[in-house]
Structure 1
Amino acid sequence: MSLPPLLDDGLGPNLETYLFYAREQRDKEAAEARKEGHRPPTGWLSELLGLNRLADTASVVSDEKKAGSDEATLAVSPAEYRAASSSLRTATWGAIFYLITTDILGPYTASYAFSQVGYGPGVACFVVFGVMAAYSGILLWHMYLKLDSDRFPLRSFGDLGYRIFGNWFRILCNVLQSLQLIFNVGIIILGNGQGLSQVAKFKLCFSVCNIVWTLAGMIMGQIRTLQKFGWVANFAIWLNVIVIVMTMGAVAHTAPNYEAALATYNITAGPVHTVAINPQPFQPQLNGIMQIVFSYGGAMIFIEFMAEMRRPMDFWKAMACAQVFITVVYMFFGLFVYTYQGQFVINPANQGISLYSLQAATNIISFTASVIAAALYGNIGVKVIYQNVLMELFHAPPLTAKSGKYLFAVSVIVYWGLAFVIGSAVPQFTNISSLVAAVCIFQFSYTFPPFMILGYLVQVDAMSEDRSYDIKNPRASRIDSWWNLSRWVRGYKKHFIFNTWNLLVFLACLATAALASYTSITSIISGFQTGTSAPSFGCRSPLQTS
C-alpha cells in the first residue's frame, strides 16, 4: 500500500478529510441501491449459492487488462481513475462469505482443541471466541464505512490502522499480516505433506512430500486477482464439507489411528477417554485453545474483502453467516470426533482415521481444498509484500505493468520457497499453528479492533465542538490540539463506558496473546528436545513411528 495522495497544502489527509469523503461515498452507494430497487429481489440463498450474478459484474475488465503505456496512464484524470476504481468493486456478499470460510485449518483442528481442554471449556471457548470475533468484525466494518471512499480507498488492515494511529501502526499491521500469511501457507504445506506421506504409506520422503505441494502452490499462486478466486473458493468450501462428513463417518465406525497417536503424543493404544474438563497442565490447554482461535482467523483480510465489494454495507451479512457457520459446524465436528477418539485425536482430524481407504480419500480431497486456501493466502501475502516493500522501498513497477507481472511471478516462487522452509524446519503442526494464532491471528481478530475503535471514537468525538469542515481549508476546523488535555477529555468522555470496555478488552487480549506466544515457543523447543517431533528437513513423517 502506498501512502494516500497529498492535499493541496502538500500534507497528507487528516481524519476529517477521510470522514468527509467517506460520507459522500456511502451516500452515493445508498443512492445507487435505491436506483436499482426495480430489479428482481434476490434472497440470501441465491447469494450464498452464487445464483445471483449481475450482468454488469461479468462486463468488468480485470485489472491486468488495464495495463498500457506510461503515456496512456498519465492521460487518465483523477476523476476517471476513481470511476474505474469504483467499477472494479464487483464482489457480492455471498461471494465474500465463501472467501471468509475458505479455511482449511479451522474445522480439522477443532477436535484437537476439545481433546486438550474437555467438553465444557471447549464449548465455552468456541462460543465466546465466536461472539468476540463477530464483535471485532462489526467494529472493522463500521470503521471501514466511515473512512473508505473512491478518492481515498482502504485496501488493507494496515490502511485502516494508518488512518487512525499513523504510520507506525500501519507498519506493525503489515508485518504481522505478512507473517501470518506466509506461516499459514507453510502450515498448509506441512499438513498436506503429512497427508501425502500417509497416502504413500510413508514410502516417500517427507521433505519430498512438502516439495510437491510447494511446486503446486507456485503454479496456483500465479493467479493475480481475488476476483478469479470467487468460484474456486465456492468449490473449496464444499470440498471441506465433504471431508468433514467423511471424517465423521469414519471415526464413528473405525478405531483411532493408534500409530499416529504414538508418533505424535507418545501414547499407546487403549480405551478412548473423554472428559468434561481436562485436568492436564495449563500449557497444552492453552495450545489447544489457540486452535480455536485459528477457526476465527479471517479478520486480517476483512478489509481486502470489503474493498472488492460492490456494496460494502452488505459485508455484515457475509461476516454474520460465516461466523455462525464456523461456530456451529466447526464446534459440532470437533465435539463429534473427540467423542469417538478422545485422547487419540490427531491434528488435523482426518489424518486420525485408521482405515487406509477412507484416510487416503479424505487426504486427497483435502489436498485440493487446502491448495486453494494456500493460494488465496499466498495471493494476498505476495501483494502485501510487493506493494509495501518492493514498490514502496525499491520502486518496483505496478502489478498492472508487464514488468510488474513478471516480478510478481518471481515473488510468488520466492514466497512459496520461504513457506516450504517454515513448514519443513518446524514439522510440528499443532505447535506452529498455535504460535501463529498467538502472535498474529489473535491480534487481528481480537486485540487490534477494540484498540482501533477506541482510537477512532476518541478522535471523532473530539471533533464534536470543532468548526464545520471546509474542503478548501481542511485543517482549520479544530479549536484545540492533542497537546491540550481538553481534546483528550472531550474525545473520551462521550462514550466513556464503551471506550473503557474496549480498553479493557484490548489489554486482556494483549496479555493472553503474550502468554500464548510464550507457551507455543516453549512447546516447540520441548518437541525437539524430547524427540516427539520429526527432524527438520528429514524424511520421517511426523505421523510415522519409525
Structure 2
Amino acid sequence: MSMLPGLAVATAPTEQMRELGADEDDVRKMSIAGTHPGVRQRLWGLEARLDPTVTFEEFTYWAKVEREMEQEESARYKSLTSGQGFMGVIKNYFTSNAYEDAKVRDATHASEDRDQGIQWSEKKSPDTEEGALSPIAPAGTHDFDADDGYGLGAGIFLLMGLAAGASGWMIWYVFLGLDSSRYPVLSFGDPFFRLYGPKIRHFINFTQALQMFLTVAVVLLGQTGIIAQLAGSVNLCFIVCGIISLVVSIASGYMRSLKHLGWFCNSAVWINIVSFIIVCAAAAKYGPDPTAAVQTGILNKDWVTNPAPVKTFANAPPPEYQQSNADPFAAKFNGINSMVYAYSGAIMFVAFLSEMRHPMDFWKAMLVAQAFITGVYIFFGAFVYSFYGQYAYVSITQSVKPLNLQVVGNVLSLITGWLAVFLYFNVGMKTVYLEVGQELFNLPAITTRKGKYLWWALGPVYWIIAFVISMSIPQFSAFTNFVGGLFSLNFTYSLSGVMCLGYKIQQAAKLPGEGFDPATGETTRLDGGYKRWVRGFRKSWKLSIPILIFTGCGFAASGMGTWAAILALEEAFSQSVLTSWTCTNPYYTG
C-alpha cells in the first residue's frame, strides 16, 4: 500500500507530505497554525541523521515514503530528459542539476514539482548514476593462482564472488530500509548507528577510515613500483618515484564529489580489458619477466639473472615457489587476501547509494559488476598463471615481456591505479572530515567555501602520512595481503552481515499496535531490550540464521588471512628485505 497521498486521498497525510519540502520556518508556522497539531519540532536533513531521539520505526517509515517518492521522481526525470539525443545526454551529465533544468524547459511541470524538487535537491546529486559502480579492481587481484594453484584458486574466487553478491545485496537492502531525505544515510557507519547505537558507529567509522587510509598507502606503493620500473633504464631514485606518485595523488584530491566519476569508472573497465589483452598476448608469446616477483618477495634472488623454469600447480605451490610466505597453509589465506581486492568495493556502496538518483536500481549495476569481475578474473588468472607460474606478480603488468609491451601495460595500470586512489581517498577523507572534523571539532560543512578550503588544506596531510607508511613497508604483496585480510574481508563480508542481521531482527520484532505515527511524531513500543532482540531473531530465523553463519565465516576468514599476512611480513623483515626508503632502484637494467 502506498504511503504517498493519491488523487483519491484527502486526509491529513497530504499536509505531512508538504512538510517534506518545508524549511524550519515553514514547519514552525504549520505547527502554530494547527495544520499539524502535535508534530514534534526536530531537525531534518543532514543535521538530523544522527539524532539519538529518532527511533528505528521512524527511520523506516520515512525511508518507505522516500522510496515511493524516488519512484515517481525517477519516472518524471526520464520523461523530461528523454529524446534529447546523444548531445543532450552529454549536456545533462555535466549539468549540476539536470532534473531542475529539465523542469525549467518543461514549464507544464514547474509548479507541480516545486515542493518535491526542493526536497530532492537537498539530498541527492541527480547526475550520480549507476555507472559509478563499475569495477575498478587493483592490479593485484589476478595473482591468486600463484598462491593457491589452479583448482583451489578458481574455486575460492568463484565462491567469494557469490558471497560478495550476497553482501552487496544486504547493504542495498538495509540502505533502502533506513535512508530518507529527512534522515539520510551517507556513510557505512550510519546504518550501524541506527541499528546498534553511537559507539558501534564510531568503531565502524574509525576502521573504515583506517582501511581507506591503508588502501591508499597500498596503491601508492604499487604506483611507486610501476614508476620505478618504467624509469629503470635511467636508474631513477626509488624515493623520487614515490614523490612523483605522491604529487599526482595530491592533485587528484582537488575533486570533492563522486558525481562525475561514472564515465571515468567505465573507462577504467575498458582500460583494464585492453591491459588484460596485452598481458595475455605477451604471456603466451614471450613468457615472464621475473624481476618484480623475485626482487620484492621471498623467491630465490638468483632467479633474477638465472630464472628457474616456470612451474604451475593444481593446489598450493611448495615453499620454494611461493612469493610471500613459505608456509603453504598460510599461503592459501594470503591468496584469499589478494582475491578480496577484486570485490572490496562494498565499502563504498553506501557512499555511491547516497548520491544515486534511483538507488533501487543499484542491484542491476552490482550484478553486472560482480559477474564481470568473477568471469574475467577467473579466466585471466588461470591463463596468465599457465605461462607465468611463480612469477605471476601481484602487479601483473610488471611481469610482462618484452619491454615495450611492459611499458604500455604499466602506463595503463598507472591510469587505473590513480583513479582507484582517488576513490579510496575521497571516501576515506569524507569519513574523517564528516565524522571527526564536523562532528567532534565543529569544522564547517564540506559544501561551504570554508569547508572546501579546509578539504584542500587537509588533503595533502592525508596523502603525506599515507606515503610515509607505504614507503616503510618491506614487501608490497605482504602489505597488500595484510590490509585485505584485516579490513577488506570484514567490510566486504562480515560487517555487511552484521548490518543486515540487526535490521532484520528489529524489523521482525514489531508487535501488533506498535509503530510510528507521523501525525504526532510518536513511536509506540510495547517492550524493549534483550527480549525484543530474541523475539526478532526467532521470528526471522529463516533468514537470520544463514546471515549469522555468513557473518561468522567472514570473521573466520579475516582472522586466518590476517595471521597469514603477519607471518609473511615477519618473514620479509627477517630476510632483511629493504624498505622503500632507499634510492636503489630494484628495476635498474644498467
Q: Which moved further from structure 2: 460-469 or 173-182?
A: 460-469
Which residue among 236, 260, 284 is the counterpart of 1:204?
236
Q: Pick one of 387, 394, 404 that aligns with 1:340.
A: 387
Q: 2:133 aligns with which of 97, 100, 105?
A: 97
SS of the residue corresponding to residue 155 of structure 1 reads coil
- For 2:55, the equivalent position in structure 1 comes to 14
Distance 2:147 2:491 in 1: 24
Cα separation, 2, equivalents of 1:506 and 1:91: 31
Equivalent-residue separation in structure 2 for 1:255 and 1:447 (angstroms): 39
1:537 to 559, 567, 581: 581
CA distance in 2, matches of 1:127, 1:41: 39
Structure 1 residue 223 corresponds to structure 2 residue 255: yes
For residue 156 of structure 1, give the secondary structure of its aligned residue in structure 2: coil
1:71-470 equivalent positions in 2, closer than 5 A: 82-86=119-123, 88-93=125-130, 95-98=131-134, 101-103=135-137, 105=138, 108-201=139-232, 203-263=235-295, 264-267=297-300, 268=303, 269-278=307-316, 280=318, 281-470=328-517
CA distance in 1, matches of 2:398, 2:546: 42
Structure-2 separation of matches of 1:195 and 1:365 = 10
Instruction: State the AA in 2 paired with 1:182.
Output: F
| Residues in 1 aligned to 2:291 and 2:442: alpha-carbon distance in whole angstroms | 53
Q: Distance in 1 between matches of 2:462 and 2:222?
A: 18
Instruction: Quote the RMSD (CA, aligned, Å).
Output: 2.7
In structure 2, distance between residues paired with 1:300 and 1:136 = 10
The residue type paired with residue 133 of structure 2 is F
Cα deviation, residue 401, structure 1: 2.1
Q: Distance in 1 between matches of 2:120 and 2:292?
A: 56
User: Whole-Å Cα distance in 2 between the matches of residues 56 and 341 of structure 1?
Assistant: 46
C-alpha contact (below 8 Å) 1:534/1:541 kept by paired residues: no
Q: Closer, same or farther in 2 for the Cα pair 1:476/1:323, shift >3 Å?
A: closer
Deviation sequence 1:71-130 (CA, Å, 0-9, x none) = xxxxxxx9886332245232222x2233xx123x1xx32342101111111111111000
- Report if the CA contact (8 A) 2:221-2:476 is conserved: yes
Correspondence 1:524 to 2:556? no
How has the CA–CA distance of structure 1 residues 38 and 402 changed in structure 2, closer, same or farther, with 3 Å as cutoff?
closer
**Structure 2: distance between partners of 1:52 and 1:342:** 49
Distance 1:313 1:24, change over 3 A: same
Distance in 2 (alpha carbons) for counterparts of 1:535 and 1:311? 47
Report the equivalent of 2:21.
Answer: none
Question: Displacement, 1:217?
Answer: 0.7
Q: Distance in 2 between matches of 1:6 and 1:222?
A: 28
Identify if the C-alpha distance between structure 1 residues 58 and 356 changes in structure 2 by more than 3 Å, giving closer, same or farther: closer
TM score, norm. by length of structure 2 = 0.82
- Tell me how far 1:283 sits from its aligned partner: 1.2
Offset at residue 34 of structure 1 (A) = 4.6
Between stretches 27-36 and 413-422, larger displacement belongs to: 27-36
Shift of 1:342: 0.8
Distance in 2 (alpha carbons) for counterparts of 1:417 and 1:476: 48
| Offset at residue 301 of structure 1 (A) | 0.6
Report the number of matched residues.
514
The Cα of 1:306 is off from its aligned counterpart by: 0.8
Change in CA separation of 1:15 and 1:200 when aligned onto 2, cut-off 3 Å: same
User: Could you say which residue in structure 2 is the equivalent of 1:72?
Assistant: none
Q: Answer whether contact 2:282 2:400 (CA < 8 A) is retained.
A: yes
Q: Deviations over 1:129-187 (max 9, x none)?
A: 00000001011111111111111111111112211111122112211211221222211
Q: Which 5+ residue runs of structure 1 have no aligned equivalent?
A: 63-77
Q: Secondary structure at the match of 1:469?
A: strand
Q: Answer yes or no: is the 8 Å Cα contact 2:128–2:260 preserved in 1.
A: no
Unaligned runs of 5+ in 2: 1-44, 99-114, 319-327
Give the 3 Å change call, closer, same or farther, for CA 374–453 of structure 1 in structure 2. same
Q: Deviations over 1:23-59 (max 9, x none)?
A: 10111122334556757989xxx9xxx9993866554
Identity %, equivalent residues: 31
Is the contact between residue 144 and residue 338 of structure 2 (CA under 8 Å) also seen in structure 1? yes
In structure 1, distance between residues paired with 2:79 and 2:438: 44
Report the Cα distance in structure 2 between the residues aligned to 1:185 and 1:259, rounded to whole angstroms: 24
Q: Is the 8 A contact 2:316 2:331 kept in 1?
A: no
Secondary structure of 2:510's aligned partner: helix
Q: Judge conservation of contact 2:50–2:193 (CA < 8 Å) in 1.
A: no
Q: Is it true that 1:31 corresponds to 2:79 in the alignment?
A: no
- Is the 2:232–2:587 contact (alpha carbons within 8 Å) kept by the matching residues of 1? no
* CA distance in structure 2 between the partners assigned to 1:204 and 1:315 by the alignment: 45
**Aligned partners of 1:36 and 1:232: how far apart in 2?**
23
The question of whether the paired residues in 2 share the 8 Å contact of 1:5 and 1:12 is answered with no
Largest Rg, 1 or 2 = 2
Q: Which moved more, 1:509-518 or 1:409-418?
A: 509-518
- Do the aligned residues in 2 keep the contact of 1:162 with 1:169 (CA within 8 Å)? yes
| Distance across 1 between alignment mates of 2:47 and 2:445 | 15
Look up the equivalent residue of 1:277 and give its one-letter code.
N
* TM-fit CA distance, 1:466: 4.1
Secondary structure of the 2:528 match is coil
Partner of 1:70: none
> Structure 1 length as normaliser, TM-score?
0.88
Report the residue type matching 1:132 in the other structure. Answer: A
Do the aligned residues in 1 keep the contact of 2:97 with 2:126 (CA within 8 Å)? no
How far is 1:214 from its partner? 0.3
Tell me, yes or no, if the aligned pair for 1:60 and 1:87 is still in contact at 8 Å. no
Alpha-carbon contact 1:258-1:354 (below 8 Å) kept: no
Give the residue type in structure 1 aligned to 2:584.
R
CA displacement, residues 466-517 of structure 1 (integer Å, 9 cap, x when unaligned): 424212445541111115x3x2332111221321121122122212212211
The answer to which of 152-161 and 296-305 deviates more is 152-161
In 2, the alpha carbon distance for the partners of 1:51 and 1:432 equals: 45
* Comparing 142-151 and 474-483, the one that deviates more: 474-483
- Tell me, in whole angstroms, the C-alpha distance in 1 between the residues paired with 2:49 and 2:335: 45
CA distance 1:323–1:542, shift in 2 (3 Å): farther
The answer to whether the 8 Å contact 1:110/1:333 transfers is no
Letter in 1 for 2:247: L
